[in-house]
Every structure is written in C-alpha cells, then in structure tokens.
C-alpha cells in the first residue's frame, strides 16, 4: 500500500515508546493513504445504485457508525503502516487491513449510516423483517451458525447480534458488486430481507437524507488515552480461557512413550507452527486470534508437563493439530459446555 505523504515524529519509535503516546498525538488522517481509495470506491458503489448519501468519515479508535449520525469512524491504525504493524503485534490481526476486508467493513458501516440518514428503522416493514432498532444492544450475543434467517457477510454470524447489525449486513451483501445475492440466497428466508433492501434502496434513490449532520463522534484528536491503555482494554475484551481439557487429545496426537524421547518436544512443535495454525483456524472458525493464542499457550504448557513428543512428519502433525484446535474452538463456542456468548 502507498506510504502516507506526511511524516510523523513517532514513526521511528520502538513499540514500548509508541505505546506511551496518546491517541490524540498521532494526528493521522485518511487523506493521502490507501483508505482514501477505499472510501472513494464506496462512494462510487453508492452512486451506481443511485444513493445520494455519502457517509462522511473520520479517524477514531475503532470501526463504528454512531446512532443518528450518517457517517463512519475508521480505526487509526489503518492510516499508517507503522500503526498497522503495532496493531498486528498487539492483537495478532489487523481488522480491515486488506483491501477486501476494508471494503467489506465499509459497506457494512455504510448500511448503518444510510439507516441513520434516512431513519429506516421507523418503517413498520423494516421492523417486521429486522426487529426493533430500540432493542438493547448486547455486549455479547449467541449465534446459530446453521440459521438461514440471516445473511453471512462479516465473521461470527454478525447479523444475528442485533436488528441494526442484521440490516447493515444485509445492505452490505446487497451493495457488493457481483455478489449474486439472488442466486446465492435462493431458498433462504434471508432472501426476503435482501429483496426488501433492494426495494427500499430503489425508493430512496436520488432522495436527500432526513439527517444530514456531519458530527464526528470520538474523533482521534479528542482521545486522551495512551496506545498502551487502548490495547490493554482491547486485549481484555477478547481474552477467554476455556477449561483445560486437552490432555487426552494431546496424548493421542503426540507421544509420551520413552522410546520416542529423541523426537522433538511437542511444545516446540506447536511454538514453531503456532502462527500458521492460529491464522488458519481463525479464518475458518471466526474466532479471535488472541483467544486462540491463549489456548495454544495452555496446550504448550500441558505438552511440556506431560513430556509429549512430536512423532512423525510435520505435514501430517500440522494437519492433525489444526483439526484438533478447530474442534476445540467450535466446542468452546457451540458445544454442550460452550461459552454461549460472543463479544460484540
């Protein structure tokens, strides 16, 4: 991605020094960065559909579209490669850090902005299909992965978390070029929602939004917390340690037989492949990489205490261990003793 035109005094700081800086001191913007191209692309997509509203954007601490504000807040770390590098180190992921991911989130947030701008939640049919927008926003939600009542756009069945998110996800699927939503969702109850969005957008095409405020909620220059404080809070939000029930499965995959003492320790094997396996499991389960990293730490500790050895080809062991971690993750999310709730 292109480097920002502007140079910043914190670019050369170490991670420890950068974490001591306040968010307000970063002073980054989307102008002159790859984000500008993403925003322009979103506007082009809206224009092609005849939607007059162009959500204004600003830099803040995270992705969001405030209630009754037809705009989109974009997280600060996406505005500079150095901040993206720190985000990846602290969170093991960069949400929206690729073109496709950024566009997916922008389309979702644009759905919120259009809902706010045209006050769509006041319509009775909107309420019948999506629910009441006034419903309490949960801190955690419990999805049904098999449900066909909702579209699937962002990870972890996000449409199921709240009526507003259901609409934003449905809008994002409808807006994405070449999404083929009619054929993809044929036979799904969710198709009725997509057809309604199609009718609704045709109705408001060319019309001026009811709400036109350009307010910016929690802009970066007003955020006094340090990056260290920001990440401490963010990490705590995603931290989850399931029960340590790995011994039996790890002993099946690895060996404690004294005859295999010359084979590499299983703990070393997991450490060597953890990043690749963590990313793969996160991709297919939707689980946060920080959560998976905590599970891997526990598994490494148990392998060390049980003196397990990685016997056999790395290729087969990586495949088998990936299946094991995936199964444990899905069991933690949706099994009989499941966590039940996903952080919103």
* 3-state DSSP of 199-221: HHHHHHCCCCCCCCCCCCCCCHH
- Phi-psi group of 12: left, alpha or beta (phi > 0 → left; psi -120 to 50 → alpha; rest → beta): alpha
Higher pLDDT among residues 140 and 182, named by residue: 182
Residue 340 has pLDDT above 80, yes or no: no
pLDDT of residue 20: 98
Residue 240 has pLDDT above 60, yes or no: no
Closest CA to 185 of 134, 225, 135, 147: 147
Q: Is the separation of the CB atoms in 80 and 94 below 8 Å? A: no
* Alpha carbon distance 21, 17 (integer Å): 7
Average pLDDT over residues 218-231: 97
pLDDT of residue 216: 97
pLDDT of residue 338: 43
pLDDT of residue 239: 66
Q: Classify 140 as helix, strand or coil.
A: strand
Closest CA to 74 of 31, 114, 45, 116: 31
Closest CA to 23 of 315, 285, 227: 227
pLDDT of residue 138: 81
Tokens of 306: 């049980």
Helix boundaries (H) for 136-222: 163-175, 181-184, 190-204
Adjacent-strand bridge partners of 34: none
Q: In which band, very low, low, confident or very high, does the pLDDT at 269 lie, cut at 50, 70 and 90?
A: very high
Q: Is the separation of the CB atoms in 137 and 162 below 8 Å? A: yes
* Alpha carbon distance 144, 134 (integer Å): 22
Q: Is the full-model pTM beyond 0.75?
A: yes
Q: In which band, very low, low, confident or very high, does the pLDDT at 83 lie, cut at 50, 70 and 90?
A: very high
CB burial of 125-161 (b: ≥16 within 10 Å; e: otherwise) equals: ebeebbeebeeeeeeebebeeeeeebbbbbbbbbbbb
Residue 315 has pLDDT above 80, yes or no: yes
Residue 148 has pLDDT above 90, yes or no: yes
202-206, 295-299, 328-332: which is most confident: 202-206
Minimum mean pLDDT among 131-135, 155-159, 161-165, 225-229: which range? 155-159
Residue 122 has pLDDT above 90, yes or no: yes
pLDDT of residue 337: 44
pLDDT of residue 99: 97
Residue 2 has pLDDT above 80, yes or no: no
pLDDT of residue 254: 96
Q: Is the separation of the CB atoms in 152 and 182 below 8 Å? A: no
Phi/psi for 149 (5° steps) reads -80, -15
Residue 196 has pLDDT above 70, yes or no: yes
């Amino acid at each position: 991605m292109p480097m920002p035109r502007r140079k910043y005094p914190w670019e050369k700081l170490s991670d420890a020094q950068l974490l001591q800086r306040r968010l307000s001191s970063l002073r980054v913007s989307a102008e002159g960065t790859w984000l500008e191209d993403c925003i322009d692309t979103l506007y082009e997509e809206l224009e092609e559909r005849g939607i007059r509203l162009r959500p204004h954007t600003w830099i803040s601490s995270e992705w969001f579209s405030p209630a009754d504000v037809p705009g989109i807040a974009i997280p600060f770390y996406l505005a500079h490669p150095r901040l993206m590098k720190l985000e990846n180190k602290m969170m093991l992921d960069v949400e929206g850090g690729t073109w496709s991911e950024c566009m997916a989130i922008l389309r979702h947030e644009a759905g919120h902005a259009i809902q706010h701008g045209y006050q769509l939640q006041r319509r009775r049919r909107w309420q019948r299909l999506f629910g009441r927008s006034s419903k309490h926003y949960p801190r955690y939600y419990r999805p049904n992965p098999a449900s066909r009542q909702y579209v699937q756009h962002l990870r972890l069945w996000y449409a199921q978390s709240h009526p507003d998110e259901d609409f934003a996800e449905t809008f994002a699927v409808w807006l994405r070029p070449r999404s083929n939503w009619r054929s993809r969702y044929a036979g799904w109850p969710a198709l009725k929602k997509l057809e309604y969005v199609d009718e609704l957008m045709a109705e408001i095409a060319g019309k001026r939004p009811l709400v036109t405020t350009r307010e910016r909620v929690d802009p970066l220059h007003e955020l006094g917390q340090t990056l260290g404080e920001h990440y401490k809070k963010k990490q705590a939000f995603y931290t989850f340690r399931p029960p340590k029930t790995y011994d039996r499965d790890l002993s099946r995959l690895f060996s404690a037989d004294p005859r295999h003492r010359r084979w590499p320790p299983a703990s070393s094997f997991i450490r060597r492949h953890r990043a690749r396996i963590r990313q793969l499991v996160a991709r297919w389960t939707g689980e946060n990489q920080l959560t998976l990293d905590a599970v891997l730490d526990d598994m490494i500790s148990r392998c060390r205490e049980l003196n397990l050895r990685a016997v056999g080809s790395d290729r087969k062991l990586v495949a088998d261990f990936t299946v094991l971690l995936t199964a444990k993750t899905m069991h933690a999310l949706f099994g009989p003793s499941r966590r039940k709730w996903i952080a919103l």
